Amino acid sequence: MSNNGVLNKKTYDSVKLGEVLISAKGKKPKFVASEPSDGWLPYINIKAFEQHVFDEYTDGENCLPCEDGDLLMVWDGSRSGMVGKAYKGYVGSTLAKISVPGVTNEFLYYFLQGKYRILNSKVKGTGTPHVNPEILGNFDFPIIPMEEQLRIIAKIEELFSELDKGVEALQKMKMQLKLYRQAVLKDAFDRYKSFSNITNYFDVSGGLTLNSRRNVLPIKMPYLRVANVYYNFIDLTDIKEIGVKENEIDRTLLKEQDLLIVEGNGSKEQIGRVSIWNGQIKQCLHQNHIIKARPNGSMLSKFALYYLMSKDGRNQILEVASSTSGLYTLSIGKVKNLQVPTCSLEEQREIISIIENRISVCEHIEKSIDVAEIQAESLRQSILQMAFEGKLVTHEEEINV
């Protein structure tokens, strides 16, 4: 760094990555087992690669071996271009083992991390996407002495460690906001001692059953699936259409202020997700795994929504949804057994106003946290870019960013 504080860029010689990269695609094993046997090792599939969960083992026949720390890249699928470290075993058929002679795996790992967005967005193939070898091989790869590689790696990891601490703090803040939301809802509904059956305030009904016969029906209409309904949020980014008979439309047509309850989900935390339909799409139906509760005018949908999202409401949903097998499933009948607090419409409006005034503060903070997390990821990419452009460290000293 010069005396006036301006960093002098360090210049690295480079070659095209394809000229030095050694890569070998994984292969499907001849024999696979769910449990290890003598001499059998883990087959490093996507689950093992990403989550360190080993659920397949093989004897190695017709396979590509890998050792702990070898560098792997996802070659096929939606995450093409992602890099990570291997475990001792055999490389999965959707992965590739990669290396560059004279270069540490960590150095190559960080270099390719900085190229993931390009590799993943410029894949090859119209069916299953896979890494485009021409894109990968055309990257300018810096030729750096081992001592310099280690210095760059150390600086990257130092800066990433600080970033990770910041991201961890942001995630803790999100958890605290979640607890605050529950505290707000608890405070709002703790006052009620009188409850009544939800059917006194809502007409509860089911939706359309999906089957292949609907494909040939002439009337096609948009419909909501489980994937569209979340806690107090309707995700409309992926709306599908379904074939429907004319006499089914009135029964399954959504109207503004309909309360929507998710019938089933593999996760205990997600079963009974509840939201309100606000007429975002005209003439929209719903499938049978979403239970509809239509207000009859004596209870506001938002009042019921917030109660069912509260701890007491969630506990009630899980209680009626539980089964002897340990699974959690809802049904129209189980939803009809739910109890909701009893109070006047005027009091309901007052409670809704109190809840939303308090929660709006949470939403503002959460948006700021989301922006900060995006900025942290952008900074991570900037660090990688600087590292391989010779801007992160100099011969004599390192810089802080």
8 Å CB contact between 83 and 118: no
- Rounded CA-CA distance 241/212 in Å is 13
Q: Is the pLDDT of residue 6 over 50?
A: no
Q: What is the pLDDT of residue 254?
A: 97
Higher per-residue confidence, 391 vs 24:
24
Could you read off the pLDDT of 89-108 as tens digits, one per residue? 999 999 999 999 999 999 99
Same fold for the pair 13-143 and 193-342: yes
What is 193-342's CATH number, 3.10.20.30, 3.10.150.10, 3.90.220.20, 1.10.340.30?
Answer: 3.90.220.20
8 Å CB contact between 369 and 170: yes
Could you read off the pLDDT of 281-336 as tens digits, one per residue? 989 999 999 999 999 999 999 999 999 999 999 999 999 888 766 678 899 999 99
Confirm or reject CATH 3.40.50.300 for domain 13-143, answering yes or no: no
Q: What is the pLDDT of residue 327?
A: 74
Taking residues 238-253, what's their average pLDDT? Answer: 94
Encode burial over 272-311: b for 16+ CB neighbours within 10 A, e otherwise: bbbbbbeeebeebbbbebbbbbbbeeebbbbbbbbbbbbe
For the beta carbon of residue 353, count every other beta carbon within 10 angstroms: 10
Q: Is the pLDDT of residue 60 over 60?
A: yes
8 Å CB contact between 274 and 259: yes
Domain residue ranges in the chain? 13-143, 193-342
Could you read off the pLDDT of 345-399 as tens digits, one per residue? 999 999 999 999 999 999 899 999 999 999 999 999 999 999 988 887 654 444 4
Task: Tell me what percent of the residues of the chain surpass a pLDDT of 70.
Answer: 94
Taking residues 155-181, what's their average pLDDT? Answer: 94
Question: What pTM was computed for the model?
Answer: 0.71
Could you read off the pLDDT of 209-219 as tens digits, one per residue? 999 999 999 99
Maximal CA-CA distance, the chain: 81
Q: What is the pLDDT of residue 9?
A: 58
Q: What is the pLDDT of residue 324?
A: 62
3-state secondary structure of 279: coil
State the burial class of residue 4 (Cβ atoms within 10 Å of its Cβ: 0-12, 13-18, 19+).
exposed
pLDDT grade for 11, boundaries at 50, 70 and 90: low
* C-alpha neighbours within 13 Å on the C-beta side of residue 188: 33
Taking residues 169-189, what's their average pLDDT? Answer: 94
